[in-house]
């Protein structure tokens, strides 16, 4: 008998049978029939002793190789069956990837606070502290120490919300400047900004709000100049409205500063050419500023002979309105979520 | 202050300067010019004489006029009821453009061709408030037909609208504006010199004061007054300045006030009745009828001008009805006086009588102008009201004219401005301002002129020099002060709070602090807190300061729910405003599903969702652990509300809003929490050293307990912790069952316990022994039975 030939025949048979195998059980059955103790190939070894000695090794090798080939074929089929069963299972897990995901939206911080933080970080970077103070203030802190005595004509400019004769809702955050200077005791330089709410007797409409948000700044030292004020405000204007912006100072009047100036930023809409947003002037008014009045320094414990300083104040709503083209100041306080959620920090 | 350019030219040359350039320069170096506009609008207008007026055959309300415009006769259809034959009128010829873009063309109206239009003042852009004329404007009978009507009316003028700051009282006069223009453009100021030709009859007045609140009072008497119209040039200038022309006497007092800044008043001298002026303080309860025929109740501090017996004017505020100048007036007493600005401010404010005069008195007038203005007005009245002026001026003047010279060093100037000006530059600016000064070794000693009462300190001088040099030439530098900036720990804590909540999906709001008084306690926890209210509320909606940010948050939820927003999760750091002071509070509101899985099943937002948010926040910000204790608060759900404590101290509350209260605002399932941020920060733990991570895995055990309904989870946890000590790393409820299958009044709570040992691997039997001990302790303390 030609063993090699017979093994080849068996291999062919095995291949055909394996192709029909669909389950693990069938596979085991086939395996035992081709490789088990009763399998034909297992019986070949009995014939080996009938062979002459020199032929025995070749015969043995052929049988072993045959077994290995059979095992490999069975293994292949087994792997195939396993893969197919996993594929079937996964097919059942198909999803529609276009279905909606759960809502893990990050909330929006209020646009006013976003800008406040931006301004705070800008000034912290320049070595400023952030100061805060009460919103219910005394007439003394809100007006008198700021060179606004009771009969001062400039009190018309800021009609106030009084609680008693001597207390009111602060009309600006300037009393925080006074409080900080008093706290420092006139002894060391001041470099601060004070963000916060302020209140005026205004009827709410598109451009007026009885409650508003302000940031004021104050630097007091022996050689603080108006040029320093200009440079500082230029940094602020560029940070708020873009690196291309320029600023313009116009003479103005505030009882707490002298010289006083109103500060305009070049119109971002028309780049200073003139358009309806800037009323054809090329500039938009954004803040008031000046050199601290000696009266205010003295009233806050700083010797005007030695110290001088600058102060400025800016309305956050105004910055937001200009930056985003918001047309109505009431939007900030209505808190419609469809409004608030548009502003991503 | 509205400034007529053609008027301004009387005092300072504007050669080579367009109104726009003037506006720009004033804005950058003096005061903001808010607008530049023509006094009137109209081209191609000529003076015409109405030769005939005949009815239009096909239109009742129209007439057909023949108008002579010298070179031509025109047929013009007119609808004005006041057109008459023989009138001189302003005729807009075809091609003319009038105010509001009205274009005039030759047109046919019901079969008649009209070759132009007879204009009214309103059509020329002069507001009705300045003329009160309903029909066409009728010119004086001497108006030359065929000439340019706009030029004849002195309407070819440009007006600058200046926004005058309260310190610059001097700019409330044409002469004052001229001085600033002169300083900017380096030109001279010309001030007209009044020519007074007096009659023989002497001014008989005696003028005295009993009050120091009247600084000076100058009076003249004028006879033979002819009341009539003031000249056209004066009327157009008054209109440019925003004042309605009345008659020559009133107009001249107004004109001189606008020119000099000194308000004047004319009394009907015959009605004054006495040859005396006595200024005194009003008595409380005294009354006086002002020339608007209102009886005014006076207070102490008001200043009265009297004839020695009866009051004739409320000093600086308004004249009296009794002595008003009328058509019949023949003699006038002309007053030019100065009062204490604060008194005028108080009186005019209290009586609501703010006027051009009171404005100038309030801001403070130039004491050197008081006498000048009187003479200037007298001279104009002599010309334009044919008066004769009685000999002599009577007055008292208690002004202290001594003002101290101001010293300013060039060094200080440059140190404040950060500029590099030299002596010559400062000299040039001071000369332009006509400020007398001396300079020696860089020290300027300046004598401020009387017209500039606002210049008193070296800072005032720095401002003058700075503005006239233009602040925009200053360099842009940064302060040299070296300092450490940054947020305080508490400020960082607040910021973190806001950022964490935003990251957790909450939107931040900013609401009004002033709200309705009657709702102030609605969502506040403590009813003992004293709220703060305005003495004069803005409105009912804005009257009282809130006691909690939850007030605003709740209303924001209602607003958004009404706009169909489903999930509303919001927060705000606001304040609790009390009489005692202000405390910063965090308010959080949840309404609607949170982190919704839109198409799979999800649990609705509950008390525990918000509790979890608060616990996460407390953990991240180091003020955990928190203890929640049930409580009841006004408008909250009576059984879903708790006090929040950290380290045994109350820091806030949490709860579901009472369904009825929510429903009243069209809301449902609203959960609120409030945290006192200042307290939470104070109670927060310091950053501690780290604990090494246990080397060995821990053990986990579950126990189910049958307990009385009334026993809360926290009590069981506490007992377990006390019993197991540090080995018990965590304990959580993972199942709660209350139902029919259990004995009445009982519930089943299942806990998952995690045990850890830092040193060695936990053995199963050690763990089991520990669990047994815990179960025993729970049985003893809470009667719990392990299931
Ligand atoms: Zn623009």
- Helix/strand/coil (H, E, C) string of B393-447? CEEEECCCCCCCCEEEEHHHHHHHHCCCCCHHHHHHHHHHCCCCEEEECCEEEEC
The C-alpha atoms of residue A123 and residue B613 are separated, in whole angstroms, by: 33
Tell me: the pLDDT tens digits for B376-407?
999 999 999 989 999 999 999 998 878 899 99
B343 touches chain A (CB under 8 A): no
Average pLDDT score over residue span B227-231:
94
Q: How far is A89 from chain B (nearest CA, A)?
A: 22
Average pLDDT score over residue span A251-260:
96
pLDDT of A189 over the 60 cut: yes
Cα distances from B173 to residues A295, B241, B451, B467, B735, in angstroms, run 29, 10, 10, 20, 85
The C-alpha atoms of residue B335 and residue B702 are separated, in whole angstroms, by: 101
pLDDT tier, B758 (very low <50, low <70, confident <90, very high otherwise): confident
Cis, peptide link before residue A167, omega less than 30° from 0: no
Coil, helix or strand for B664? Answer: helix
Q: How far is A301 from chain B (nearest CA, A)?
A: 18
Query: Nearest CB to B510: which of A110, A132, A226?
Result: A110
Q: Which pLDDT score, from 0 to 100, does residue B59 have?
A: 82
Average pLDDT score over residue span A279-296:
94
Give the global pTM.
Answer: 0.89
Structure tokens at A245: 């912006």
pLDDT tier, B608 (very low <50, low <70, confident <90, very high otherwise): very high
What is the CATH code for A111-343?
Answer: 3.30.930.10
B positions 31-60 inside 8 Å of A (CB): 31-32
Tell me: the pLDDT tens digits for B128-182?
999 999 999 999 999 999 999 999 999 999 999 999 998 999 999 999 999 999 9
Q: Which pLDDT score, from 0 to 100, does residue A315 have?
A: 96
**B570 or B79, which is more confident:** B570
Tell me: the pLDDT tens digits for B275-300?
999 999 999 999 999 989 999 999 99
DSSP codes joined into one string, A306-331 = T-EEEEEEEEHHHHHHHHHT---TTH
Average pLDDT score over residue span B77-89:
90
Coil, helix or strand for B655? Answer: strand
Average pLDDT score over residue span B352-378:
94
Q: Which pLDDT score, from 0 to 100, does residue B516 have?
A: 95
Query: Residue ranges of the domains in chain A?
Result: 3-92, 111-343
Q: Which pLDDT score, from 0 to 100, does residue B464 have?
A: 97
Cis, peptide link before residue A259, omega less than 30° from 0: yes
B positions 559-588 inside 8 Å of A (CB): 559-560, 563, 565, 567-570, 572, 575, 577, 581-582
Assembly ipTM? 0.90
Best B21, B412, B483, B592 member to test A by mutation, with max A CBs in 10 Å, is: B483
Contact flag B418-A213 (C-beta cutoff 8 Å): no
Side-by-side strand order, sheet with B2-4 = B2-4, B158-163, B32-38
The C-alpha atoms of residue B548 and residue B105 are separated, in whole angstroms, by: 68
Q: Which residues of B touch A258 (CB under 8 A)?
A: 457, 459-460, 462-463
Tell me: the pLDDT tens digits for B254-280?
999 999 999 999 999 999 999 999 999
Q: Which residues surround ligand 1, an ion (CB under 5 A)?
A: A 267, 269-270, 275, 277-278
Question: Among all chains, which residue has been given the structure tokens 């004086």?
Answer: B140
Provide the β-strand partners of residue B288: B296
Q: Which residues of A touch B595 (CB under 8 A)?
A: 102-104
Contact flag A107-B501 (C-beta cutoff 8 Å): yes
Query: Nearest CB to B509: which of A110, A258, A261?
Result: A110
DSSP codes joined into one string, B524-537 = -S-TT--B-B-SS-
Q: Which pLDDT score, from 0 to 100, does residue B787 have?
A: 85
pLDDT tier, A277 (very low <50, low <70, confident <90, very high otherwise): confident
pLDDT of B479 over the 60 cut: yes
pLDDT of A273 over the 90 cut: no
**A339 or B694, which is more confident:** A339
- The size of the A-B interface in CB pairs under 8 A is 245
Average pLDDT score over residue span B323-333:
93
Tell me: the pLDDT tens digits for B590-604?
999 898 777 777 677
The secondary structure element, H or E, covering residue B221 is strand B214-223
Contact flag A252-B165 (C-beta cutoff 8 Å): yes
Mean pLDDT over all residues of chain A?
92
Best B23, B506, B507 member to test A by mutation, with max A CBs in 10 Å, is: B507
């Amino acid at each position: 008998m030609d063993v090699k030939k017979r093994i080849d025949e068996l291999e062919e048979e095995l291949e055909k049978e394996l192709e029909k195998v669909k389950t693990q059980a069938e596979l085991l059955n086939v395996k035992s029939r081709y490789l088990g103790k009763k399998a034909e190939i297992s019986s070949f070894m009995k014939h080996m002793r009938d062979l002459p000695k020199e032929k025995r090794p070749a015969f043995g090798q052929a049988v072993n190789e045959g077994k290995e080939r059979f095992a490999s074929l069975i293994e292949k089929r087994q792997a195939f069956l396993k893969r197919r069963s996993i594929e079937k299972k996964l097919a059942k897990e198909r999803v529609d990837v276009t279905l909606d995901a759960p809502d893990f939206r990050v909330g929006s911080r209020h646009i006013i606070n976003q800008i406040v933080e931006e301004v705070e970080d800008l000034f912290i970077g320049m070595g400023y502290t952030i100061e805060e103070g009460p919103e219910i203030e005394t007439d003394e802190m809100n007006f008198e120490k700021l060179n606004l005595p009771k009969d001062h004509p400039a009190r018309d400019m800021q009609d106030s919300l009084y609680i008693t004769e001597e207390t009111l809702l602060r009309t600006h955050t300037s009393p925080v400047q006074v409080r900080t200077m008093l706290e420092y005791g006139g002894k060391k330089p001041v470099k601060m900004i004070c963000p916060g709410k302020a209140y005026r007797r205004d009827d709410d409409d598109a451009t007026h709000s009885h409650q508003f948000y302000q940031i004021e700044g104050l630097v007091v030292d022996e050689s603080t100049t108006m040029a320093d004020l200009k440079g500082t405000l230029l940094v602020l204007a560029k940070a708020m409205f873009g690196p291309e912006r320029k600023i313009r100072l116009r003479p103005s009047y505030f009882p707490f500063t002298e010289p006083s100036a109103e500060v305009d930023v070049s119109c971002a809409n028309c780049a200073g050419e003139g358009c309806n947003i800037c009323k054809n002037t090329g500039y938009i008014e954004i803040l008031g500023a000046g050199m601290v009045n000696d009266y205010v320094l003295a009233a806050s414990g700083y010797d005007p002979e030695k110290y001088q300083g600058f102060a400025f104040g800016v309305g956050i709503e105004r910055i937001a309105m200009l930056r985003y083209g918001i047309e109505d100041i009431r939007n900030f306080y209505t808190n419609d979520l469809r409004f608030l959620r548009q502003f991503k920090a | 202050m509205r400034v007529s350019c053609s008027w301004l030219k009387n005092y300072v040359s504007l050669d080579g300067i367009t109104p726009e350039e003037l506006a720009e320069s004033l804005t950058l170096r003096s005061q903001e010019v808010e607008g530049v506009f023509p006094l009137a609008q109209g081209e191609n207008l000529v003076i015409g004489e109405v030769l005939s007026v005949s009815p239009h055959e096909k239109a009742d309300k129209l007439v057909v006029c023949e108008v002579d415009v010298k070179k031509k006769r025109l047929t013009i259809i007119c609808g004005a009821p006041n057109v008459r034959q023989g009138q001189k009128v302003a005729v807009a010829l075809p091609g003319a453009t009038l105010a509001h873009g009205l274009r005039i063309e030759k047109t046919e109206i019901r079969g008649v061709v009209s070759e132009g239009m007879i204009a009214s003042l309103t059509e020329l852009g002069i507001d009705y408030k300045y003329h009160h004329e309903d029909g066409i404007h009728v010119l004086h009978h001497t108006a030359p037909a065929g000439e340019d009507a706009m030029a004849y009316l002195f309407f070819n003028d440009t007006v600058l609208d200046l926004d005058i700051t309260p310190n610059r009282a001097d700019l409330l006069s044409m002469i004052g504006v001229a001085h600033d223009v002169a300083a900017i453009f380096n030109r001279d100021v010309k001030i007209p010199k009044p020519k007074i030709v007096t009659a023989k009859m002497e001014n008989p007045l005696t003028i005295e004061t009993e009050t120091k609140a009247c600084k000076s009072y100058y009076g003249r008497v004028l006879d033979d007054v002819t009341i009539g119209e003031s000249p056209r040039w004066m009327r157009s200038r008054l209109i440019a300045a925003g004042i309605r022309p009345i008659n020559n006497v009133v107009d001249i007092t107004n004109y001189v006030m606008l020119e000099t800044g000194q308000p004047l008043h004319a009394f009907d001298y015959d009605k004054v009745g006495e040859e005396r002026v006595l200024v005194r303080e009003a008595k409380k309860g005294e009354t006086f009828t002002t020339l608007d025929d209102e009886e005014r109740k006076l207070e102490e501090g008001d200043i009265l001008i009297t004839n020695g017996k009866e009051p004739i004017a409320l000093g600086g505020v308004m004249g009296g009805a009794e002595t008003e100048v009328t058509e019949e007036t023949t003699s006038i007493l002309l007053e030019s006086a100065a009062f204490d600005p604060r008194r005028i401010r108080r009186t005019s404010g209290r009586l609501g009588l703010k006027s051009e005069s009171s404005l100038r008195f309030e801001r403070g007038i130039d004491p050197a102008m008081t006498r000048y203005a009187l003479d200037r007005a007298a001279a104009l009245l002599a010309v334009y009201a044919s008066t004769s002026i009685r000999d002599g001026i009577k007055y008292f003047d208690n002004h202290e004219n001594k003002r101290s010279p101001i010293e300013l060093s060039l060094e200080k100037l440059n140190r404040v401005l950060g500029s590099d000006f030299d002596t010559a530059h400062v000299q040039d600016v001071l000369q332009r301002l006509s400020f007398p000064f001396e300079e020696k070794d860089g020290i300027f000693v300046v004598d401020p002129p009387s017209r500039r009462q606002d210049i008193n300190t070296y800072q005032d001088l720095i401002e003058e020099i700075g503005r006239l040099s233009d602040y925009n030439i200053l360099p842009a530098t940064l302060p040299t002060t070296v300092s450490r900036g940054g947020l305080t720990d508490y400020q960082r804590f607040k910021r973190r709070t806001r950022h964490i909540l935003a990251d957790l999906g909450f939107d931040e709001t900013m609401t009004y602090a002033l709200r309705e008084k009657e709702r102030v306690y609605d969502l506040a926890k403590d009813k003992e807190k004293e709220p703060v209210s305005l003495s004069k509320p803005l409105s009912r909606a804005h009257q009282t300061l809130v006691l909690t940010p939850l007030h605003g948050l709740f209303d924001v939820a209602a607003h958004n729910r009404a706009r169909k927003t489903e999930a509303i999760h919001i927060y705000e750091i606001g304040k609790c405003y009390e009489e005692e002071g202000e405390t910063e509070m965090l308010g959080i509101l949840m309404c609607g599903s949170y982190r919704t899985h839109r198409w799979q099943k999800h649990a609705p937002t509950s008390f525990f969702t918000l509790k979890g948010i608060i616990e996460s926040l407390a953990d991240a910000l180091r003020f955990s652990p928190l203890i929640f204790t049930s409580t009841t608060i006004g408008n909250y759900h009576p059984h879903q509300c708790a006090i929040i404590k950290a380290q045994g101290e109350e820091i806030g509350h949490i709860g579901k809003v009472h369904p009825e209260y929510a429903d009243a605002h069209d809301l449902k399932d609203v959960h609120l929490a409030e945290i006192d941020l200042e307290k939470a920060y104070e109670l927060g733990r310091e950053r501690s050293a780290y604990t090494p991570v246990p080397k060995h895995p821990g053990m986990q055990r579950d126990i189910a307990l049958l307990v009385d309904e009334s026993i809360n989870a926290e009590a069981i946890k506490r007992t377990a912790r006390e019993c197991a000590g540090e080995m018990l790393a965590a304990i959580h409820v993972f199942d709660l069952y209350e139902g029919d299958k259990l004995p009445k009044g009982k519930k089943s709570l299942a806990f998952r316990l995690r045990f850890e040992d830092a040193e060695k691997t936990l053995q199963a039997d050690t763990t089991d022994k520990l669990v047994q001990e815990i179960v025993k302790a729970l049985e003893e303390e809470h009667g719990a039975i392990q299931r």
